Amino acid sequence: MRRNPFGMDICCRKGSRSPLQELYNPIQLELSNTAILHQMRRDQVTDTCRANSAVSRKRRVLTPNDLKHLVVDEDHELIYCYVPKVACTNWKRLMMVLSGRGKYSDPMEIPASEAHVSANLKTLNQYSIPEINHRLKSYMKFLFVREPFERLVSAYRNKFTQKYNTSFHKRYGTKIIRRQRKNATQEALRKGDDVKFEEFVAYLIDPHTQREEPFNEHWQTVYSLCHPCHIHYDLVGKYETLEEDSNYVLQLAGVSGYLKFPTYAKSTRTTDEMTTEFFQNISAEHQTQLYEVYKLDFLMFNYSVPNYLKLE
């Protein structure tokens, strides 16, 4: 019988150094370039929160319901805030391997559908208030971010241009078409499966949308999903450097000897060029309003205003 590498490692963190110690008190005294880069990313978030405190700290206190995106791995003292459309399927797979105590060994053997079953992962909102506070203080907290408009186009393409996503068409598509399309056909109003990107943008910037209910997680801002002005993230990974940043997290967790971030080139991936194309037909007024919605994400994670934007 092939020995599972987790037999020894996975549940025996006692006596070894925690990821937080590895990050902030490395054994080698000289800070690596990677450590310096991550310090700069942390500082960027802190500075943006401070400079925009009126907006970013509107909410003084978080409730457990705000923590349902924070996935907990007790064995390695990790908390991962998942952001849809930023490699979250693969990171959920990794968290299932890490917290599964030997149940899984190869992340890519876990079907994507299983990675998104909420019962397969423990989230921070399932703990008591003292337990939540203890974990926020002593576990290493990380998230992954992506250029906000590229992420938005990725969400649009995935949820509104794929025929199989009927639940999104019914739940959101019909509503968007009803509100944003003049003279919509009965079929479009019933199916909601041909939402144009311009209509999606108009829906997002419509004040009625935000008053009615929070954005769906696939297009919600990172600062609303992960609350980086209330929760101090120790690592901010980026989609642009996904592999290096992911493997750095695994290294700090002490598992890089047998666990690597799954690598594969997704041929359908939304690129910067694609995003530029999608924004061609959006008016300068709508682009400006949309930028305002995602502005904190741009600033906080150091993404510059895209060249293709025609801001007013």
- The region of weakest confidence among 12-21, 193-202, 288-297 is 12-21
- In this predicted structure, the answer to whether residue 1 has a pLDDT above a threshold of 50 is no
What 184-188 contacts at long range (C-beta under 8 Å, 24+ apart), as own/partner pairs, is none
Strand segments, DSSP code E, in the chain are 70-73, 78-81, 122-123, 140-145, 235-238
- In this predicted structure, the answer to whether residue 265 has a pLDDT above a threshold of 90 is no
Exposed, middle or buried: residue 169 (CB in 10 Å: 0-12, 13-18, 19+)?
Answer: buried
**What would the mean pLDDT of 249-261 be, rounded to a whole number?**
95
Nearest Cα neighbor of 89 from 282, 258, 269 is 269
pLDDT band, very low/low/confident/very high, at 291 (cuts 50, 70, 90): very high
Beta-carbon count within 10 A of 216 CB: 13
More confident site: 210 or 114: 114
Q: Supply 8's token pair.
A: 């020894």
**How many helices (H) and strands (E) would you count in the chain?**
17, 5
In whole angstroms, give the CA distance from residue 145 to residue 83: 7
In whole angstroms, give the CA distance from residue 127 to residue 15: 25
Nearest Cα neighbor of 281 from 167, 178, 195, 199 is 199
Model confidence pLDDT, tens digit, residues 166-207 = 999 999 999 999 999 999 999 999 999 999 999 999 999 999
Q: What is the pLDDT of residue 268?
A: 83
Phi, psi (rounded to 5 degrees) for 90: -70, -35
- In this predicted structure, the answer to whether residue 306 has a pLDDT above a threshold of 90 is yes
Task: Specify whether the CB–CB gap between 98 and 78 falls below 8 A.
Answer: yes
Per-domain boundaries in the chain? 19-147+221-253, 149-218+270-301
Q: Coil, strand, or helix at residue 205?
A: helix
Q: Which residues pair with 70 in a beta bridge?
A: 81
Q: What is the pLDDT of residue 212?
A: 92
Q: What pTM did the predictor assign?
A: 0.92
Q: What is the pLDDT of residue 312?
A: 76
pLDDT band, very low/low/confident/very high, at 6 (cuts 50, 70, 90): very low
Exposed, middle or buried: residue 37 (CB in 10 Å: 0-12, 13-18, 19+)?
Answer: middle
**What would the mean pLDDT of 7-28 be, rounded to a whole number?**
69
Distances (CA, A) of 275 to 145, 162, 221, 238: 16, 17, 17, 18
pLDDT band, very low/low/confident/very high, at 8 (cuts 50, 70, 90): very low
Model confidence pLDDT, tens digit, residues 30-86 = 678 999 999 999 999 999 999 988 776 666 788 988 999 999 999 999 999 999 999
- Ramachandran sector of residue 21 (left: φ over 0; alpha: ψ -120 to 50; beta: rest): alpha
Three-state secondary structure string covering 33-60: HHHHHHHHHHHHHHHHHHHCHHHHCCCC
**What would the mean pLDDT of 253-280 be, rounded to a whole number?**
89
**What would the mean pLDDT of 151-177 be, rounded to a whole number?**
95
Q: What is the pLDDT of residue 59?
A: 64
Share of the chain above pLDDT 70, in %: 92
Q: What is the pLDDT of residue 9?
A: 41
Task: Specify whether the CB–CB gap between 78 and 19 falls below 8 A.
Answer: yes
